[in-house]
Amino acid sequence: MDYNVLIGGAAGQGIDTLSHIFGKTLKRCGLYVFSMKDYMSRVRGGHNFIQVRFSDKPLYSHDEKFDAIIALDSDTINLHAKSLKAGGKLILDRSLSDNDAYMSFDFKEIAKECGNPRVAGTAAVGVLLKLFDIPLDISHTVLNDEFKGDVLNANLKAIDTGYNMVKQVFNVPLEKKDDNIYISGNEAIALGAIAAGVKFYCGYPMTPSTSVMTYIAKKSRDAGIVVEQVEDEISAINMALGASYAGVRAMTGSSGGGFALMVEGISLAGIAEIPIVITEVQRPGPATGFPTRTEQGDLRFIIHSGHGEFPKMVISLRSPEDAFYQTARAFNIADKYQIPVILVSDQYLADSGVTVKPFDFTKIRIERHISGDEALENGVYKRYKLTESGISPRIIPGKVEGATVLIDSDEHDELGHITESQDMRVMMVNKRMKKLKLLKEEIQEPLFMGTENPDILITCWGSMYGPVKEAVDMLLKDGMSVGALSFGDIWPFPTKLIKKYGKFAKMIIDVEQNATAQLDSLMRENALIKADEHILKYDGRMMSSKYIYDRISEISKASSLY
């Protein structure tokens, strides 16, 4: 069982809320859900849609064809009716079309009768629920969580009215108990940060990164977190570094444009050796680019962010579950090595809602690596003490009586004072770069999926994990010898598995949501492995598993492999 539904309309018509109600109702019925947002950079009008895919098995990405569509505007009909599967249903208000092939209702009239013209879409969701025979009372629990008072009553009436107007069409076996959560990538990052004890978050709103800050802000009072909206991203990174220096876990985040403004601050974190976690939720650039769309175009920019040479870690996020655990891990790594750690996501992962197992908070360890007066030598504290590992003991200003902590953006001596010495310069560069060596032992190799030692090896990174995972499953069913490496940790670049599988593979196909195959360039540079073929997409819309499956089938047929 694998169904796919689209809800489309203009900005301001409540598409977000409707799909949330529908998705959460499905989840509470014990189903697995994957929802994907496609929206324009505007507050009213235009055409937005959300796809909600659901199944009795876990889902990892979106699909392209639909079993049902709710059209709240005529664009939805014009753009998406052709994507209906055979036997698929298009639900709309009678005013939009008189085509008999569609299921037309007087939703506007119903909404008026329910006492609120804004609940027309809710009535359409009622119709949708009945078509799939989803229990009405479960949808009521969701509405109860979303609305209050008269608005709640109008919504309840509307969903009931819609539900009672049609008969069941599709068969959805409801056998499992609901024990999952339904969460987006950005919310998972926020939750991971809160679990890891972030105490200070500052940022400037930028789509599609903003909802990380929004969720943390919602919990700030309860969790004792300070969230500050700053004047610009330059302030964001410098303020977060100040907070970290003063002793708490601090975080900032943005999308590509805002991250670009933070870059000098990342360099400061490098030389001053201040732990910091930064999220970069990519959207297509250059410059303002495609504000609400998705791309994986910033990878090399992020890896190279910051002038000068210094260690940093870059972790790309695969899924909400991965986002939660990796965010928490990022704080430990930042604290351990006193470096910037950058989490890389994108609009696809940021805005997609996925059902996953509830996160295990007992797995989250807090490792702060902070010293006390044992770090003093004859009463003196050396912030940049030269050590075997390159890591200097870190104390918090004001917490060790008689000791002061001096950090410096200039090249400095062990005490943190400005130096012009060439010997000291070399020692300090070596000290910092030693940390990179240690860090290489810390990195996680990519996740391997598929047949062991496959003929066709797919490579991907970050959020491409979901579509590739499903594509591999489809290809395996066709009897193909195929496997995939999904990179999470991406800098320092893990080379072991790509070397291992790359040697055996007859063909390497690199799959990325960008124009320049940036992962492939990293493989060539760091592992001397080169992809033979590329599947690249940079139209701002995430490739689906079906898209990848079709391309790989074509490529393999065209080659002499199959």
Partner 1 sequence: MNTAFETYETAWCPGCGNFGILNALKDALNELGLKPHQVVIASGIGQAAKIPHYINVNGFNGLHGRALPPATAINIVNKDLKVIIDSGDGDTYGEGGNHFIHAIRRNANIAHFVHDNQIYGLTKGQASPTTAKGQKTSLQFDGVILDPVKPIKLALTMGAGFVARSFSGNYEHLKKMMKEAIMYDGYALLDIFQPCVTFNRVNTFKWYNDRVYELPNDYDYTDLDNAFKVADEWGDRIPIGIIYKVEKPMYIDNISFLKDGPPLVDAKYDPIMAEKYLDDFR
DSSP 234: H
Shortest spacing between CB 315 and partner 1, in angstroms: 19
For the beta carbon of residue 558, count every other beta carbon within 10 angstroms: 10
Question: For helices 422-442 and 320-337, what crossing angle results, to 10°?
Answer: 150
Do 200 and 248 meet the contact criterion of CB atoms below 8 Å apart?
A: yes
H/E stretch holding 140: helix 136-146
**CA 72 from centre of chain:** 28
Q: Does 400 bind partner 1 (CB under 8 A)?
A: yes
Q: Does 417 bind partner 1 (CB under 8 A)?
A: yes
Label residue 560 exposed, middle or buried (CB < 10 Å: 0-12, 13-18, 19+). Answer: exposed
Shortest spacing between CB 198 and partner 1, in angstroms: 10
For the beta carbon of residue 18, count every other beta carbon within 10 angstroms: 22
Please give the residues from 418 up to 457 whose contact with partner 1 meets the rule CB under 8 A: 418
The smaller minimum CB distance to partner 1, of residues 194 and 303, is found at 194
For the beta carbon of residue 221, count every other beta carbon within 10 angstroms: 9
Q: Does 403 bind partner 1 (CB under 8 A)?
A: yes
CB within 8 Å of 226: residues ≥ 6 apart: 199, 200, 201, 220, 243
CB within 8 Å of 155: residues ≥ 6 apart: 114, 116, 119, 122, 143, 146, 147
Please give the residues from 252 up to 291 whose contact with partner 1 meets the rule CB under 8 A: 264-265, 268, 272
Q: Does 522 bind partner 1 (CB under 8 A)?
A: no
Q: Which of 126, 416, 467, 488 binds partner 1 (CB under 8 A)?
A: 416
Q: Does 366 bind partner 1 (CB under 8 A)?
A: yes
Binding mask 185-204 for partner 1 (x = CB under 8 A): --x---x--xxxx-xx-x--
Q: Does 368 bind partner 1 (CB under 8 A)?
A: yes
The smaller minimum CB distance to partner 1, of residues 200 and 547, is found at 200
The smaller minimum CB distance to partner 1, of residues 204 and 549, is found at 204
Binding mask 5-44 for partner 1 (x = CB under 8 A): -----------------------x----------------
Amino acid at 289: G
Do 421 and 454 meet the contact criterion of CB atoms below 8 Å apart?
A: no
Read off the tokens for 503. Answer: 């040697």
Read off the tokens for 23. Answer: 């998705």
The smaller minimum CB distance to partner 1, of residues 164 and 404, is found at 404
Mark the segment that binds partner 1 (CB under 8 A) among 49-57, 360-368, 455-463, 485-493.
Answer: 360-368
Shortest spacing between CB 217 and partner 1, in angstroms: 12
Residues lying near partner 1 in the complex (CB under 8 A): 28, 178, 181-183, 187, 191, 194-197, 199-200, 202, 219, 221, 223-224, 226, 228, 230-232, 234-236, 238-243, 245-250, 264-265, 268, 272, 328, 358-359, 361-362, 364-366, 368, 379, 396-410, 416-418
